Amino acid sequence: MASGRNLPFPDNSFSAAWSMSTLLHVPNSRIHDVVHELVRVSAPGAPIAVGLWSGEDVEVLNPEDDEEPRRFFSRRSDDAAREIFGAHGDVEHFRTWPEGVGDESGPGNGAWNQHYQFLVLRTPSSPNQVAPSAVLGPQNGT
């Protein structure tokens, strides 16, 4: 086990990275540290696929959890997700789809207003390259 803020791999170790329904448990105060580490261990120009449950830019403990400690969720709007990831590379793909029902629903068991977000972040082609999305803003990558 390792911290997402200090991954135990050398720079440029992976040709691609993938994180589904994980980074939504990282608080906003730490998300840039974690995304920076994903970019650091990924090769220049590598794709990083990310899936998240959306929200209204709130951080909450899941009220439906029966056991303590309850799970933490940082629920980010589409604009916030684009801005966060765009600060670390080019968001070249961003799509959403509605939450399912019953067993297909996400956290909150249908009680939260949410949808699923999927994006592909392309790491900069060189470590010193400024991410285009960081310059142009969150509208880039749609």
What are the tens digits of pLDDT across the range 13-46?
A: 999 999 999 999 999 999 999 999 999 999 999 9
Whole-number mean pLDDT of the chain?
A: 87
The pLDDT score that the predictor gives to residue 110 is 64
Taking only the tens place, the pLDDT of each residue in 113-138 is 789 999 999 999 986 665 544 433 33
For 93-118, what is the mean pLDDT? 79
Torsion sign over Cα 28, 34, 40, 44:
negative
CA dihedral 91, 93, 99, 105 (to 10 degrees): -80
pLDDT at 48 over 50: yes
Give the C-alpha separation, 130 to 94, whole Å.
20
